[in-house]
């Protein structure tokens, strides 16, 4: 999927057209000369030009007249959708979406928030309409003082679940450029603008939230909370350990890693064929993720060990910096051909990475016991094959290099499973005692 450049900069074409307009008359020349002496006046003129030209570059995406994005609609209903779409659902539901957007901008109503997320997640054309409505209604809305911040918040949450079309992503970026260029931004608006860009880039790359079950209210509210508080997923190992220090000052490894390895054992991981290889049901993975984000695992009665395994792999895969850091990946892979070198290179990892890796390897080593491998059909080679992609990041785009590096990653991890002394991680294995490793 194609991803557009998401850098924060003012819209050049908008500024250019604004400058051309300002030079047409002597009066405008005087205005511009006066604004050079008055920075506030210059900023007002720049902001006005951005407001007036907004959306024109992407107007083919919309059904209404040029300049329709100039100001929000204060009426109770739209006459027709803002976007061109053959979808009957858009024709039917666009006004319901319009009402929900306005309600959220006014009062942050969670029922309207869920309705918008579910609508957008279920139907991509309706998602485009919702994004367009939010942008239109949050730009200088006279009825709601906090409309811009709440609009940014709403877009950031939606971008956690559903991707806009490429045309709509251009409009979103133009809107974010306008936000970035506004000198009077509140700190919260600036932060949300950056989060929107990050979420947009991510969802255009990875696609919509997967699953058959629509996002739950708890999942949606968690996405909202993570706009202001760090998630366990997608951050660095070092940052996560700092965050959890208040709750678990004694832990030297991530709480989520310790608890998920515990759950895998409790849910019958030692006797489950294809452990770590077979994926868990995606909707149950989402539900379990929602629980662990709150530092608790409340009820896993409907969860099997494949779900816990999938979430553990997802957590490793989404670390902002992999367990084997990119800066020394080549050096690490060069040591993959023999066991002694593979074991020695572990000492070059940061201390937090070493502790986390040691616990993971010790956990995987339990599955290599003959009596367990006989039931799971997962020996050290198979375990290394399914886990290695979650611990490394690609260092090349060349297909041949990717294939060779994949082989070396598996070799290195297999060497560690078969030969690394993990007794220093024994303090965390009370749920999977190791006697013969």
What span, in angstroms and rounded, lies between the C-alpha atoms of 197 and 118?
21
67: left (phi over 0), alpha (psi -120 to 50) or beta: left
Which pLDDT value is given to residue 206? 87
| Residue 161 β-bridge partners | none
Full DSSP string of 134-165: HHHHHSS-TT-TTHHHHHHHHHHHHTTT-PPP
Angle CA(301)–CA(303)–CA(306) in degrees, nearest 5?
150
Is this structure's pTM higher than 0.75? no
What span, in angstroms and rounded, lies between the C-alpha atoms of 179 and 181?
5
Which pLDDT value is given to residue 210? 86
pLDDT averaged over consecutive 10-residue blocks of the chain (437 residues)? 43 39 38 45 55 56 54 76 88 94 93 96 94 89 83 96 92 90 67 92 90 91 91 93 92 93 92 95 91 83 86 96 95 95 96 96 95 96 97 92 95 97 77 45
Tally of helices (H runs) and strands (E runs) in the chain? 20, 0
Full DSSP string of 290-350: HHHTTT-----TT--HHHHHHHHHHHHHH-SS-SS-GGGHHHHHTTTTSHHHHHHHGGGS-
pLDDT digit string (tens) for 64-105?
Answer: 545 455 667 766 788 888 888 888 999 999 999 999 999 999
pLDDT digit string (tens) for 171-219?
Answer: 999 999 988 887 555 666 788 999 999 999 999 998 898 888 899 999 9
What span, in angstroms and rounded, lies between the C-alpha atoms of 39 and 43?
6
pLDDT digit string (tens) for 120-141?
Answer: 999 999 999 999 999 989 887 8
Angle CA(142)–CA(6)–CA(61) in degrees, nearest 5?
60
Angle CA(52)–CA(162)–CA(322) in degrees, nearest 5?
110
Which pLDDT value is given to residue 139? 83
Which pLDDT value is given to residue 224? 94
Which pLDDT value is given to residue 46? 54
What span, in angstroms and rounded, lies between the C-alpha atoms of 55 and 71?
11
Any residues with CB less than 8 A from the CB of 321 and at least 6 apart, and which?
236, 237
Which pLDDT value is given to residue 429? 59
Angle CA(179)–CA(224)–CA(150) in degrees, nearest 5?
35
Domains of the chain: 12-225 (1.25.40.530), 237-428 (1.10.555.10)
Which pLDDT value is given to residue 186? 62
């Amino acid at each position: 999927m194609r991803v557009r450049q998401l850098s924060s900069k003012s819209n050049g074409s908008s500024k250019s057209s604004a400058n051309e307009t300002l030079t047409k008359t002597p009066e405008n020349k005087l205005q511009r000369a006066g604004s050079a002496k008055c920075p506030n006046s210059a900023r007002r003129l720049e902001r006005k030009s951005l407001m007036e030209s907004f959306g024109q570059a992407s107007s083919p995406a919309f059904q209404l007249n040029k300049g329709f994005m100039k100001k929000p609609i204060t009426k109770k209903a739209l006459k027709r959708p803002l976007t061109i779409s053959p979808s009957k659902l858009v024709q039917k539901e666009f006004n319901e979406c319009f009402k929900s957007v306005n309600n959220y901008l006014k009062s942050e109503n969670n029922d309207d928030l869920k309705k918008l997320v579910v609508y957008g997640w279920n139907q991509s054309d309706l998602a485009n309409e919702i994004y367009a409505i939010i942008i239109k209604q949050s730009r200088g809305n006279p009825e709601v003082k906090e409309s811009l911040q709440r609009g940014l918040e709403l877009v950031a949450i939606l971008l956690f679940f559903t991707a806009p079309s490429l045309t709509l992503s251009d409009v979103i970026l133009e809107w974010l450029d306008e936000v970035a260029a506004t000198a009077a931004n509140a700190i919260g608006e600036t932060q949300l603008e950056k989060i929107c860009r990050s979420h947009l880039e991510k969802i255009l790359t990875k696609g919509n939230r997967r699953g058959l079950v629509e996002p739950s209210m708890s999942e949606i509210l968690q996405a909202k909370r993570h706009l202001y508080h760090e998630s366990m997923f997608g951050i660095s190992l070092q940052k996560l350990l700092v965050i959890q220090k208040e709750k678990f000052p004694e832990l030297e490894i991530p709480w989520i890693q310790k608890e998920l390895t515990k759950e895998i054992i409790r849910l019958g991981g030692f006797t489950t064929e294809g452990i770590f290889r077979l994926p868990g049901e995606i909707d149950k993975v989402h539900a379990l993720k929602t629980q662990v984000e709150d530092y608790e695992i409340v009820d896993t009665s409907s969860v099997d060990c494949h779900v816990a395994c999938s979430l553990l792999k997802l957590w490793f895969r989404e670390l902002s910096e992999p367990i084997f850091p990119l800066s020394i990946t080549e050096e690490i892979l060069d040591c993959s051909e023999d066991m002694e070198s593979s074991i020695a290179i572990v000492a070059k990892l940061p201390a937090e990475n070493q502790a986390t890796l040691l616990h993971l390897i010790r956990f995987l080593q339990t599955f290599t016991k003959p009596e367990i491998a006989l039931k799971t059909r997962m020996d050290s080679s198979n375990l290394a094959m399914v886990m290695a992609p979650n611990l490394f990041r690609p260092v090349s785009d060349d297909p041949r290099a990717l294939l060779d590096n994949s082989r070396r990653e598996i070799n290195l991890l297999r060497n560690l499973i078969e030969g690394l002394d993990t007794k220093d991680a024994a303090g965390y294995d009370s749920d999977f005692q190791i006697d013969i490793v």
